Amino acid sequence: MAQVDLHTEDGKEYISISVESTNHPVAYRGKFYYRSGSTLQEVKGTGLQTLILKKMGRTWDDMECEGAKLDEIDPKAVDYFLRHAIPIDRMPKEAMNDQIEVVLKNLNLMTEDGHLKNAAILLFGKNPQRRFINARFRIGRFVKDETDLVHQDNIEGNILLMADEVIWKLRQDYLIRPIHYEGMHRVEPLEMPEDTLRELVYNAIIHRDYLGQDIQMKIYNDRIWFWNDGNLPEGFSVERMSKEHISVRRNPLIANIFYRAGFIESWGRGVSKVRSAFKDAGLPEPNFENFMSGTLVTIHRDLSIYGGLSEQGGEVRGNVEGNVTGNVTGNVKRLIIALQKEAKTREELMTLLNLKGSGNFRANYLYPAINQGYVTKLYPDSASRTDQAYYLTAKGKELLKSINL
């Protein structure tokens, strides 16, 4: 409401108009505006929808998913949730015998008139991407920059099971598991604290803006670039999130299900826990920042896990013997020998090298060889081709000549 007053000064009359400040958008001639500092900004698209929901005291995950039917819910996903929540007393035992509709209603995932909410489809849907196309988790393996895409995956399905699939993919195909022995036992831990990595994945899935872009994780030799759409909550900074603070949830219904399943806490300690875990593991603390319309986490990788191979592409170092299989340098040599005659696919190379795990092959053989400039792709512009093959570069052929076959 504007206040208009008539004033008189020096024999002249004038009016003053006072408008109280507001955190809500103001409509004028079919457009919406809000004040940002000393400037007037038009708000539209997903930003407008978010502001309107905030004014209504609602969140996007709490809205009805128009046209969604109960048969779109996957019973296996509901069962998966209950088997996690009941043993930790965050769901009653009787819920295992309840109909799916009853479970969803009790979790506030249905409207009063029996319609499914957005959160229900995302959490338990058979194919959430049918309705929310960007509800995906994209992973890409790069060498030095975005032009060096080696491999990529799009993880889809309901978001409750998505984190398990993401971690499995990272273990199998993207991250390195340095081998060491504890007594007689062979140990292959992930190159970074796995529980903490899972915490980051959960946070990205729970707190992202599902009206925006999909989650993106770009894995380089020296870092992991991890971004999800949705800035930090209003009034929060990275420094504030690293200290004691209240838990602010962009998607409270989604967060509640992950909490009940025992996947997260409800006390807003995510950032501080992540930093502490990396510090305790002797690794650099990840960087958190607002980037574009979302939150970016940068995780620094330890280049020594490549067994002495430098990011800059220097020569292979160290003593290399034909039967070496326990270090990356020897693995690169074996790969080069396997490629001495012609281009070969990943499956052909793994057969020749007697390897079973594609993750081990990529992390310890293929990526280091490409990184060093000894091997290249037959189809460099089509990283996802099923018939992708690899062959020796001129540099690789020169190294081959120095190997005693």
What's the confidence (pLDDT) of residue 33?
Answer: 74
Cβ-Cβ contacts under 8 Å for 211 (sequence gap 6 or more): 46, 49, 50, 60
What's the confidence (pLDDT) of residue 99?
Answer: 96
Which domains are present in the chain?
A: 2-58 (no CATH), 59-301 (3.30.565.60), 314-401 (1.10.10.10)
What's the confidence (pLDDT) of residue 37?
Answer: 64
Residue type, 40: L
d(CA 283, CA 299): 9
Strands 344-345 and 389-392, bridge-based pairing: antiparallel
Q: List % helix, strand, coil for the chain (3-state, nearest 5).
A: 35, 20, 40
What's the confidence (pLDDT) of residue 54?
Answer: 66
Segments of the chain scoring below 70 in pLDDT: 1, 21-25, 34-38, 43-57, 179-182, 184, 186-187, 233-247, 266-270, 304-329, 383, 404-405
CB atoms within 10 A of CB 365: 25
N- to C-terminal Cα distance for the chain? 86
What's the confidence (pLDDT) of residue 327?
Answer: 37
pLDDT digits (tens, 9 = 90+) for 3-21: 888 899 888 998 998 877 6
What's the confidence (pLDDT) of residue 260?
Answer: 95
pLDDT digits (tens, 9 = 90+) for 141-166: 988 778 888 889 999 999 999 999 99
What's the confidence (pLDDT) of residue 309?
Answer: 40
Note if the pTM is more than 0.75.
Answer: no
